[in-house]
Amino acid sequence: MDVYVDKPKCTGCQHCKDVCPVAVFEMRSRKDLAASNADNAPPEMRWDGKPHEDIHAKWANVSDGHKHYADDNDGTSGGLSVGVQGSACILCQACLIECEGECIHIIDDSGNKFVSIYK
Ligand code: SF4
Ligand code: SF4
C-alpha cells in the first residue's frame, strides 16, 4: 500500500493521524517540509508554500479548535500530514472520511486508487 497526501490541500487538522490505527501519518512543520522536500508524494502534490485556493477559503477561518494552516504542529493540529508508513495501511478507510482537505491518496498493491471524500 502506498499512502500520500496532496500537501497544498492539507489543512493540518490532524484527523488522519488521530484516526489511523497503524500510525501511517506524521505531522511535519510547513516550513521544514518546504525546505527539505522530504516527501513521498508525487512532485505536483508536494508542499511549495501555496495552499489550494478553494480548500483554503473553506477552512482557513473555521474555529473548531484545530490550528488550520499553522506552520507548526502542537500535538493536536497544525503543520502538514505526511504518509510516512504506507506499507502498514490496512485500508480501514477511517482517514478517507475524516480528511478535511480531501487530499489523502491510497494505492493498493494491485494499483487500485482510493481518495478521501470528507464526510
Ligand atoms: S486507510 Fe490506511 S492510512 Fe487510512 S486510517 Fe486506515 S490504516 Fe490508516
Ligand atoms: S486529515 Fe487531511 S487535511 Fe487533515 S491533516 Fe490529514 S491529510 Fe491534512
Confidence at residue 37, expressed as pLDDT on a 0 to 100 scale: 59
Nearest CA to ligand 2 atom 2: 99
Mean per-residue pLDDT, 13-36: 92
What are the domain boundaries of the chain?
Answer: 2-115
Q: What is the pLDDT of residues 63-82, one digit of tens each?
A: 999 999 999 999 999 999 99
Calpha distance 77→74 (Å, rounded): 6
CA of 23 to the centre of ligand 1 (A): 8
pLDDT tens track for 27-74: 999 998 876 657 788 888 999 899 999 999 999 999 999 999 999 999
Residue ranges lining ligand 1, Cβ < 6 Å: 3, 19-22, 24, 89-95
Provide, rounded to the nearest whole percent, the portion of the chain with pLDDT above 90.
86
Q: Which residue has the cell 491518496?
A: 105
Question: Given ligand 1 and candidates 85, 89, 119, which is best to mutate, with the most ligand atoms within 8 Å of its CB?
Answer: 89
Global pTM value: 0.95
pLDDT band at 7 (very low <50, low <70, confident <90, very high): very high
pLDDT at 32: 86
What torsion do the CA atoms of 80, 84, 90, 92 make, to the nearest 10 degrees?
0
Cα-Cα end-to-end distance for the chain: 23
CA 52 to chain centre: 13
| pLDDT at residue 119, as a whole number | 74
